[in-house]
Amino acid sequence: MSEVWWFEPKRCGYGTGRPRGWQAWALTAGYGLTVVGAAYGIVPYSLVAFLAIMLAATAAFLLACARKTRGGWRWRGDSEVNPSQRSRQSRRRKG
């Protein structure tokens, strides 16, 4: 059984690119709701608790993104971009 990837890798750089499945969108929305909910619900009472929740939520989000990105997280440089994309990028830089 093949593994289902939730995110596409970035073309250049390190990390996760665009979400590609409903699971990725649900994870991203859940993280956003956690951030907003903690900001409105916990900050007025305890900044330390808010920071602890944000640290845990961000670590869990990034771990899930890293594990569910096709090809994993690694540096992808300009040499890995296919020639047709490279020519488009060089035209943008020049003009």
Report pLDDT digits (tens) over 69-87.
887 777 777 665 555 555 5
Task: Dump pLDDT digits (tens) for 16-53.
Answer: 888 888 999 999 999 999 999 999 999 889 999 999 99
- Exposure string (b/e) for 27-43, b if CB count within 10 Å is 16 or more? bbeebeebbeebeeebe
Q: Which two tokens stand for residue 81?
A: 């971009």
Calpha distance 7→19 (Å, rounded): 4
DSSP E strands in the chain: the ranges are 7-9, 16-19
Nearest to 69 by CA among 26, 8, 14: 8
Instruction: Write down the pTM of the prediction.
Output: 0.72
Q: Tokens 């900050």 sit at which residue?
A: 43
